[in-house]
Amino acid sequence: MNRMSVAITVTSGKGGVGKSTTVASLGLGLAQLGYKVCLVDTDIGLRKLDLMLGLENRIVYDLVDVIEGVSKLRQSLVRHKEYPDLALLPAAQTRYKEEVTPSQVKAVVDELRNEFDYILIDSPAGIEGGFRNAIAAADRAILVVNPEIPSVRDSDRVIGLLESANVKMIDLIVNRVQPGMVRDGDMLSVERVQSHLAINLLGVVPEDKRIIRSSNTGEPVILDSKSLAGKAFSNISRRLTGEDVPFLELDSTTLITRIKRLFHIA
């Protein structure tokens, strides 16, 4: 196992595309593979990762406390109940993004490198201060994109900002893909999105109702064995570690759907 620590910022520009869902599932996926993983929520004032992981009742200290010296880094980490190799450094909920600087966040992440193989940094939406905090320590970035024009345009802008911040290794996850809509010509295909953005495709995640269920229960969708999105996240985790994993076949064509399609009812 490679014990070189890697800090990866998960970002998007546009809000609501599934960044925190991605971070929670990839974090668990990497922990399941035996890596030590720390998730850093930099969305100060609007934290979400604690809820996604079902850890909201166990938070004592947060990122701002560490930066201000109120608490030590180690005592601020919240360990996952089932996967103790997965830790969360939560964002403060009652403070503002402007209260911390990129160099302060970088110093915290650099300290985390001593203990963790992977540090996944959940970026807030937007390209202002919070985004700059989130990318300050990044070795690489993952861009989460929905196959729709506003999301792709924002992501294209973010790629430019990442490149000028010297983050050259940028991977793409196309999230909330609806194969039926793509087939009917009503949703941009993954190939078109990738072609426009021209970055490496790390994964494709289908739209899945089980994701809503998972954020309600605090159990990331990767733990749901019936979920196709969970399987997609599991594959992405393995690809992140360098494993060559084929992409899921999302558009399964059963006999019934073929017959329905013949009569234009599917």
Partner 1 sequence: MFNREKEEPTAVTADDRLSLVLSYQRSDIDEKKLKQFRARLIELCDDFGYDVVGHVEVIPQSKERTTIINASIPVRLKEPL
Which residue lies nearer to partner 1 by CB, 92 or 199?
199
Q: Give Rg (Cα) of the chain.
A: 18
Which residue lies nearer to partner 1 by CB, 104 or 178?
178
Shortest reach from residue 197's CB to partner 1, in Å? 8
Tokens read off for 184:
């009917």
List 120's β-bridge partners, or say none: 8, 39
Residue 115 DSSP one-character state = T
Which residue lies nearer to partner 1 by CB, 107 or 181?
181
Q: Which residues of 187-217 are buried (b: 16+ CB within 10 A; e: fewer)?
A: bbbbeebbeebebebbbbbbbbeebeebbee
Which residue lies nearer to partner 1 by CB, 79 or 153?
153
Which residue lies nearer to partner 1 by CB, 16 or 160?
160
Which residue lies nearer to partner 1 by CB, 151 or 237?
151
Output the CA–CA distances (angstroms, integers) from residue 21 to 1, 60, 89, 133, 135, in the order listed. 26, 23, 16, 20, 18
Shortest reach from residue 8's CB to partner 1, in Å? 22
| Integer Cα distance of 128 and 55 in angstroms | 28
SS3 12: coil
Which residue lies nearer to partner 1 by CB, 226 or 264?
264
Shortest reach from residue 147's CB to partner 1, in Å? 9
Tokens read off for 248:
């899921």
List 86's β-bridge partners, or say none: 37
The gap from C-alpha 105 to its chain's centroid, in whole angstroms, comes to 18
Which residue lies nearer to partner 1 by CB, 39 or 187?
187
Shortest reach from residue 207's CB to partner 1, in Å? 15
Shortest reach from residue 263's CB to partner 1, in Å? 6
Shortest reach from residue 211's CB to partner 1, in Å? 23
**How many CB atoms neighbour CB 26 within 10 A?**
27
Shortest reach from residue 114's CB to partner 1, in Å? 37
Residue 184 DSSP one-character state = T
Q: Which of 91, 76, 88 is nearest to 220 (CA)?
A: 88
Q: Summarize as ranges the residues that interact with partner 1 (CB under 8 A).
A: 148-149, 152-153, 156-157, 160, 182, 184-189, 192, 195-198, 263-265
| 190-197 vs 149-164: helix crossing angle, rounded to 10 | 30
* Helix (H) and strand (E) counts in the chain: 12, 8
